[in-house]
Chains A and B, each alone.
Chain A
């Protein structure tokens, strides 16, 4: 399973766009990239998933370059409630699919 590297922490202010980049140099051909969000005392929650190029949903955008060795989660106009830990994961969606979490990025949004 591909290992991921992401910043330990990031600070931002309300209303700003936040970009969290994740490195996954050993990503395999059949691996997808998935991001989860976790608030204190809660389980992680799925944010977005992609394979290549760009994916956008109502919460975030995910940018994946052609070589797929990194990905960037973009959160537009963050609010205080976006303060959480964000995890980048890679894995194949087959019968042996499982997610391996790293330590994540702690995002702190200030007023």
Chain B
């Protein structure tokens, strides 16, 4: 598709389990972002990739959260030992990045994570 694709759209897991969330950005977009959004709140920045490297991971809440983008395209957000407080919608966005970047982020529809 032409937009940012996120899978799964919904994930229900039990406390303590491991979860992976996948993001397929728009083809050719070098910048990729992960955000987390709780009900009634704005998206909370987690991590930003420029190409394959994490340019800014200052938003990751703790070491249970990790994200990769090995080939500079698809990214996976990994959450270990999930806790109930991790329940949220995880949003991925991509942008053209680099020189001439307009700064417009294109968001996917999100992956809703529920930790029981």
Q: Do A46 and B41 touch (CB < 8 A)?
A: no
A42 pairs with B101, CB closer than 8 A: no
Q: Does A54 contact B (CB under 8 A)?
A: no
Say whether B109 contacts A43, CB under 8 Å: yes
Q: Is the CB of A98 within 8 A of B104?
A: no
Which residues of chain B from 1 to 40 have a CB within 8 Å of any chain A CB?
4, 31, 33, 35, 40
* A72 interface residue per 8 A CB criterion: no
CB under 8 Å from chain B, chain A span 26-49: 32, 34, 36, 41-46, 49
Count, A-B residue pairs, CB within 8 A: 61
- When the two chains form their complex, are residues A104 and B107 in contact, meaning their CB atoms are under 8 A apart? no
Q: Which residues of chain A have a CB within 8 Å of any CB of chain B?
A: 32, 34, 36, 41-46, 49, 85, 87, 91, 93, 95-104
Nearest CB on A from B80, distance (A): 24
Contact assessment for B103 and A97 in the assembled complex, using a CB-CB cutoff below 8 Å: yes
Partner of A49, one of B33, B98, B103: B103
User: In the assembled complex, how far is the CB of residue B56 from the closest CB belonging to chain A, in whole angstroms?
Assistant: 6
**Using a Cβ–Cβ cut-off of 8 Å, how many residues does chain B contribute to the interface with A?**
27
From A41, A87, A97, give the contact of B101 (CB < 8 A).
Answer: A97
Return chain A residues, CB-CB under 8 Å to B56.
96, 98
Q: Nearest 7 CB-CB pairs, A to B?
A: A43-B107, A101-B42, A93-B103, A46-B104, A101-B43, A98-B48, A103-B42
- On whether the beta carbons of A99 and B45 are closer than 8 Å, the reply is yes
Q: Does B67 contact A (CB under 8 A)?
A: no
Using A43-B108, A98-B33 as known contacts, list a sample of 8 further A-B pairs with CB atoms less than 8 Å apart, ordered by residue number in A. A44-B107, A45-B107, A93-B103, A98-B45, A99-B45, A99-B103, A102-B42, A103-B40
CA distance A104 to B38 in the complex (A): 13
Residue B55 lies at the interface, judged by CB distance under 8 Å to chain A: yes
Asked if B73 CB lies within 8 Å of chain A CBs, one says no
A41 touches B105 (CB 8 A): no
